[in-house]
Structure 1
């Protein structure tokens, strides 16, 4: 098991633990405005910490492409939730596990092995069980498929731009996500300044840990593994999401949900053991 893959697993845990923080925060403010605050604070922190290194112009275009894929990923997911169930959204979003290796094949020329197909198949089955998804397909499901495609492209683009400076790539990705989220939020949702401390706790947690630290480490270490391997590792996010929900609000999985969690862990182990 590579050190880089363990770090990616740790990043996934950070992302998984954002679910209760975001759930509480969204009770006080619109979703895209929450993203604007999150990525705005993260952009400011990146500038304060890394200063001139964050502003390298030779990564501006690549960072913009990464920011666009992340913005559409978050946007399609949130809007899709208006028209479909949370369980369907969780499962369909996680289809980036399936989309990533095929996009990586066409964009990067990565070849797949039988073990890779086995890991992907096991992960998808595990995600299906842990989300309790149904097979009814509606407009919200379609939007969430576009969300999964966006996240898959982000994973592959991180791999493609891996030789660039990871700090400036992370900054431009975060900054452009902030710009796009702000434009949408101010145009559609309107501006509000939360006065309750709870949404600010969620914004700070997701902005510092899940954005500045997680995305910087992702850009630094994902290049040391394959894009489809990273996708399988990221598929453990629902497990960490359920762990955080259990710790904070006492939520418990069903029997098939725990079976799904075990299958996802098995897929990850099969993928990164060599």
Structure 2
């Protein structure tokens, strides 16, 4: 298993947002993290990437914990945030070089990967542009390129389709499937349920900071007693529970 979240409780203060959350993302699989706004998806991701420390429980990535080897743990994760984070004083080229240094990548190899990624997202002629000149979708593409030039074992993608045009959505799915074929694990938080249903191998459904259900679509159908339900049907059923 690449990612193991075990009995994690935690949040931003004394009162936990997450309550005994347990799930895994195996190597070579895409798992969709699904839930209403406020269900705990972003809080879960912040715990995994190390921005928050669990009050109880453990998180391991490829057998590593943040406490055992922080650099190796962080280096094994590539993260695409919901809101792009770019420095106004750095060009696109400088952002990419900064990411290379952060991951300790060989620059020649990284640029070789980036040649394809930048062309795919139509950023190859914008290396000397500053973020103020980028649309939200372009900023999101910079985040995607920065993540997918790495050889991370775990990709965490938070609401990846926000602001992307249909061609870019297709390209991102292609990249996700390539990493899955390479044996990497992918945790993807999204509200685009039809796309999640089509491309994810399994799902973790969060409700009020707890795992309400998890597993394949077939397992979720059994759990909710909805034999022919779509992921959207199951989501609606979960939100209507008392």
Establish whether TM, by shorter chain, passes 0.5. Answer: no
- TM-score of Structure 1 vs Structure 2, range by shorter chain: under 0.3
TM-score for the superposition, normalised by structure 2: 0.26
- Point out the structure with the larger strand share: 2
Q: Per chain length, whose mean CA-contact separation is higher, i.e. which structure has more relative contact order (CA < 8 Å, sep 6+)?
A: 1
